[in-house]
Structure 1
Amino acid sequence: MTEAATVPTESFETSEPGKRPPELRLPRYLQAAAFIGFRRKTMRKARQRLGPVFSIDVPFFGRTVIISDPALVRTVFTASTEDLINVQPNLSRVFGPGSVFALDGKEHRNRRKLLAPPFHGQSIKNYEKVIEEETMRESANWPEGKEFRTLEPMNRITLNVILRTVFGADGAELDELREIIPPWVKLGSRMATLPLPPFNTTRYSPWGRLEIFREKFDRIVFTLIDKAEADPKLDERQDILALLLRSRYDDGTTMSRQDVSDELLTLLGAGHETTASSLGWAFERLRRHPDVLAKLVEEVDAGGSDFRQATILELQRARTVIDFSGRHVKAPKFDVGEWEIPHGYTVLVSIADLHENPEIFPHPERFDPYRFVESKPPTFAWLPFGGGTRRCIGAAFANTEMDVVLRTVLERFRIQTDDAPDEKVHHRGVAYTPKAGGRVVMYRRK
């Protein structure tokens, strides 16, 4: 067993209040190109040269402070919403103004309270059967003894799971959503971190195509809302749409139909691609780590799950899918340790740099699930779901989904291991995926 992950207790002393973080000294257009095209390499090199707090100036986010010191990350994630609000601009540009991404303060807290019940406790246990069914359905036609990409099958599994948990039973509307959501996710992911053009766009432009999709999505969802409201058994249904339609704010009001549609799009868009990406990385890693794979199979056959949970935690660390979590400085200034960050700046927590820090995770280049056996991840250094009041509300759901998919596959298939080179990291706009698609060779277990 390796040394457990710990967060160093030392941090920067507040000796000179009011200092500005050191700046990355490159022309703005070079910073933009590096941030968009080579972000991880650029951030890693900047951290090595400037330390765990430095500033950049890039389009979209503007003047931005990058932070990768756990003690200072704590300051960011525990800050008052009067000081820090959600990063601006954010994914509400894609999901709509009724999405939880668009809300701050009291509105954000109230919305999360409405959204929380489907993603905790018994609700998640109820979804395990759906996850297993979709995994078995998708894997029924996997090729045997022939290398194939796992990323696309994982995307189909996670999309079908979230569709069934959001809307309940299958139907023509869900078939239509299965057709339009994958290309929308691909396009939306690429457009999410690009500035809006300063001119009107045509319906044939990427922005226009997103608008066309949104019109189709709203039409389908409004039809499903009409059907749900006319359902005499609505009060008995456990799907997320039914729960949202029955939910009430403290003052007795309900979400508008458009807000429900925005929120469901958020769940569908953010609720499947990132999990699918992590699962693609899971197969990429297991192919190259026969000792980990053998331990997982032994545990599955014995009915256990502890090592599988540790493997999922390590996978989310070693192959970070979302590499930063952002905030926007609303207060006149925000102090982080010895540094003063002015109003209007963006603050980005560099999740990838935290996950690769050898002072927190010894030998971070190793894929080593044992580091999380009988050891919980450090709260402000292991952040695959972000942190603070904006931590991903579906984190428990995503971990359950990964656990059930891996268990189901390992019960039914034998994964062939070899010494193939690691797959390179591919940036899809929001998520980082295995470039070759998490390729493996499998055989059915007799």
Structure 2
Amino acid sequence: MEVSKLLAVLALFLLSLITKIFKLRKHPNLHHLPPGTTGWPIVGETFEFRRRSIEGSISRFIQDRMLKYDSRVFKTSLIGNLIAVFCGPAGNKFLFSNENKNVQVWWPSSVRKLLRQSLVNKVGDEAKLTKKLLLSFLNAEALRNFVPKMDTVAQQHIKTHWEGKEQVLVYTIIQRYTFDLACSLFLSIEDSQVPNLYSTFDEFLKGIITFSINLPGTKFHRAMKAANAITKEIKLIIKKRKVDLEEKRVSPTQDLLSNLLVTSDTNGRFLTEMEISDNILMLLFAGHDTSRSVLSSVIKYLGQLPEVYEHVLKEQLEISQGKEEGKLLQWEDVQKMKYTWNVVSEALRLFPPVRGGYREAIEDFTYADYNIPKGWKLLWYSGSSHEDPTLFPNPETFDPSRFEGEGPPPFSYVPFGGGPRMCLGQEFARLEILVFMHNIVKRFEWDLVFPDEKFKYDPMLEPEKGLPIRLQPSPYTQ
């Protein structure tokens, strides 16, 4: 009986995909489409795209098609959707500048089902109101007051998980820092208080971009179970926090949760418990997984390039020497970390944690002389500009000086996206990364166990072997 139910669910899923693709193919405006191939029926080029991601050569998938079809835009089919891939600064500019005009944000079904009532699934005015609420906590002015707390979390993490170790697995261990910091600033909890949050996030992540077939044994099914478990824990925290706020045991501004519970939008509407829990789930996911990917790639490059490490160390020591002993970092200290941020920016150019984002055509329009039908999905890909030698000479070379002065041309450097849907956690990520770099380079020098270790996307950027490094205490350890 159970097998027949599973087969019925699978059949309905395939039928819905076939129906959707058939409707898009029957669209009346299907002449002069972007060149390309849609691959196999239903699955399209999904498996080739996935294989390239796992191999760490996803750029080849895009670049091969740019050369074969058109360097401005080409078509493909991924996860059951017809997709036009927009390339280069012109493609980025068009998609970022036409939000709610020709296009609107879109994500694969798996993302939409896992992140439910979060900002990911909101469009138009509703998206603007939700984003404004979240930014009331995540903007630079609000976050500047949390820099000392970030410094405390970073120091405690290094003392607990790095000091006294001869070797560490960076990608695994650094998640403890980014996750603990996100839990602390968003929910005012320590990981030890809610162990299920930490232990289930990897299952959630592995199923976030896949076919949304909710059958036992699939990645998506495991991700749904993880999302439900995490949401259950967050809802318990929300209920307790409401009581604490009513009885004035906690501050309305102590963290993101309190901020969302006491703040209404411009129409006087408060987010529901489900909206709050789904948005916190989204931010916990984005706020720690993307940053651990960035920090892993930065540590890799500092281990490979001693001259870059020395320059970063020099900048951080100058900041420390200008402070009273024992004083925590402040906002003003972070603003002095200009070279360190250039290093992070160059790592983001070469290895952004997420390679791009999706949109949907909400009306027929023309781009680069091709027709884009309403309903088609659209993809922008950062590598089409990040790896362009006309924009970044010798693009494979790690060169932080690219970000001095005016920096790269507009719409060529897009690790955080752009336009109204630009990553709202950009400032949070900048602070947590720089605070960690300040503390780690002063305490350690390191060598890479596998100097040629590759990075892959599964679906986030991660090192194939977890990036093991050998640690040596720095002579500047304080």
Does the pair score TM above 0.5? yes
> Which one of 405, 420, 424 corresponds to residue 454 of structure 2?
424
Distance 2:78 2:273 in 1: 36
TM-score by length of structure 2 reads: 0.82
> Which one of 194, 209, 225 corresponds to residue 212 of structure 1?
225
The 5 A counterparts of 1:19-418 are: 19-24=32-37, 26-28=39-41, 31-39=45-53, 40=58, 41-52=60-71, 53-60=73-80, 62-89=81-108, 92-140=111-159, 141-142=161-162, 146-170=166-190, 174-175=191-192, 177=194, 179-197=195-213, 201-202=215-216, 206-231=219-244, 232-303=248-319, 304-331=336-363, 333-416=364-447
SS in 2 for 1:441: strand
- Displacement after TM superposition at 1:383 (Å): 1.1
TM-score by length of structure 1 reads: 0.87
Instruction: In structure 2, give the amino acid aligned to 1:326.
Output: Y
- Displacement after TM superposition at 1:167 (Å): 1.1
Instruction: In structure 2, give the amino acid aligned to 1:351.
Output: S
Instruction: In structure 2, give the amino acid aligned to 1:305.
Output: M
- Displacement after TM superposition at 1:352 (Å): 2.0
- Displacement after TM superposition at 1:386 (Å): 1.4
Instruction: In structure 2, give the amino acid aligned to 1:77.
Output: F
SS in 2 for 1:38: helix
Distance 1:205 1:48 in 2: 35
230 and 144 in structure 1: CA distance in 2 versus 1, 3 angstrom threshold? closer
- Displacement after TM superposition at 1:106 (Å): 0.7
Instruction: In structure 1, give the amino acid aligned to 2:294.
Output: S
In terms of fraction of residues, the more helix-rich structure is: 2
Aligned partner of 1:14 in structure 2 is none
Deviation sequence 1:237-262 (CA, Å, 0-9, x none): 32000000011022212111111111
Aligned partner of 1:442 in structure 2 is 471
Deviation sequence 1:326-358 (CA, Å, 0-9, x none): 101111x12223222111111100112221111
145 and 219 in structure 1: CA distance in 2 versus 1, 3 angstrom threshold? closer
Greater displacement, 279-288 / 132-141: 132-141
Distance 1:90 1:132 in 2: 38
Instruction: In structure 2, give the amino acid aligned to 1:436.
Output: K
List runs of 5+ in structure 1 lacking aligned partners.
1-17
Distance 2:305 2:110 in 1: 36
Instruction: In structure 1, give the amino acid aligned to 2:409.
Output: P
Distance 1:427 1:311 in 2: 21
Distance 1:214 1:416 in 2: 37
Aligned partner of 2:327 in structure 1 is none
State whether residues 317 and 382 of structure 1, in contact with CA within 8 Å, keep that contact through their aligned partners in structure 2.
yes
- Displacement after TM superposition at 1:234 (Å): 4.4
State whether residues 200 and 226 of structure 2, in contact with CA within 8 Å, keep that contact through their aligned partners in structure 1.
yes
Deviation sequence 1:305-330 (CA, Å, 0-9, x none): 11101111111001122111110111
SS in 1 for 2:45: helix
State whether residues 84 and 377 of structure 2, in contact with CA within 8 Å, keep that contact through their aligned partners in structure 1.
yes
Distance 1:389 1:249 in 2: 18
373 and 381 in structure 1: CA distance in 2 versus 1, 3 angstrom threshold? same
Distance 1:95 1:240 in 2: 21
Greater RCO, 1 or 2 (C-alpha within 8 Å, sep 6+): 1
SS in 1 for 2:209: coil
Distance 1:114 1:25 in 2: 40
Instruction: In structure 2, give the amino acid aligned to 1:221.
Output: I
125 and 325 in structure 1: CA distance in 2 versus 1, 3 angstrom threshold? same
State whether residues 208 and 220 of structure 2, in contact with CA within 8 Å, keep that contact through their aligned partners in structure 1.
no
196 and 211 in structure 1: CA distance in 2 versus 1, 3 angstrom threshold? closer
Greater displacement, 62-71 / 207-216: 207-216
Distance 1:396 1:348 in 2: 24
State whether residues 134 and 157 of structure 1, in contact with CA within 8 Å, keep that contact through their aligned partners in structure 2.
yes
378 and 233 in structure 1: CA distance in 2 versus 1, 3 angstrom threshold? farther
How much identity, in percent, do the aligned residues show? Answer: 21
Distance 1:417 1:212 in 2: 36
Distance 2:463 2:231 in 1: 32
Aligned partner of 2:12 in structure 1 is none
State whether residues 44 and 79 of structure 2, in contact with CA within 8 Å, keep that contact through their aligned partners in structure 1.
no
Aligned-pair RMSD on alpha carbons? 2.4
State whether residues 323 and 350 of structure 1, in contact with CA within 8 Å, keep that contact through their aligned partners in structure 2.
yes
Distance 1:340 1:47 in 2: 17
Distance 2:111 2:347 in 1: 28
Deviation sequence 1:49-76 (CA, Å, 0-9, x none): 223211112324x111111121232111
SS in 2 for 1:230: helix
Distance 1:357 1:320 in 2: 15
